[in-house]
Structure formats: C-alpha cells, structure tokens
C-alpha cells in the first residue's frame, strides 16, 4: 500500500506521517480501516486518521465542515 500511495497520505497527500502523542515524529503511517467491515482502506497521516475518527468516519460530517470552513473565509 505504501508503494501504491507513493509513500504519501491517502487523505491529504502529504509525505509527513505526523507526530506521536509526545510530539516526536512518527516513523509509520496509520492503517485506516472501515470500522463496520474491518476492511483496510488506506494509509493515513496521524492528522487525517484522527480527523476521520473524530468525525465518526462520516463523509457527510466532513463535507459539512469543509463547507463551513470555505464559507467563513
């Protein structure tokens, strides 16, 4: 998967894996999966993985947030 994704985050296309809870750089990608089926979807940076989790893996929630952010510029 890492080769297929060109060592980049499937969510935001960064090559920065993010940081651990203590602020040190991560040396691995987060393995994202569908929480209902268990199917692996891709590799994410820590920020995208956390964001998806906080939004309950709900694309509509993320779209609403993106719309809000775009409207408030």
Q: What is the pLDDT of residues 20-31, one digit of tens each?
A: 989 999 999 999
| Per-residue CA distances from 16 to 29, 38, 58, 69 (Å) | 9, 25, 24, 23
**pTM score, whole prediction:** 0.87
Look at residue 9 and tell me whether its pLDDT is greater than 90: yes
**Where exactly are the structural domains of the chain?**
1-73
Query: What is the torsion angle, in degrees rounded to the nearest 10, for the CA atoms of residue 63, residue 27, residue 32 and residue 5?
Result: 80
Domain 1-73: assigned CATH number: 3.40.1800.10
């Amino acid at each position: 998967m890492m080769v297929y994704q060109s060592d980049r985050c499937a969510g935001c296309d960064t090559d920065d894996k993010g940081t651990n809870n203590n602020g040190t750089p991560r040396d691995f990608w987060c393995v994202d999966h569908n929480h209902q089926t268990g199917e692996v979807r891709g590799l994410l940076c820590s920020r995208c993985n956390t964001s998806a989790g906080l939004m309950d893996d709900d694309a509509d929630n993320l779209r609403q947030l993106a719309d809000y952010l775009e409207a408030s510029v």
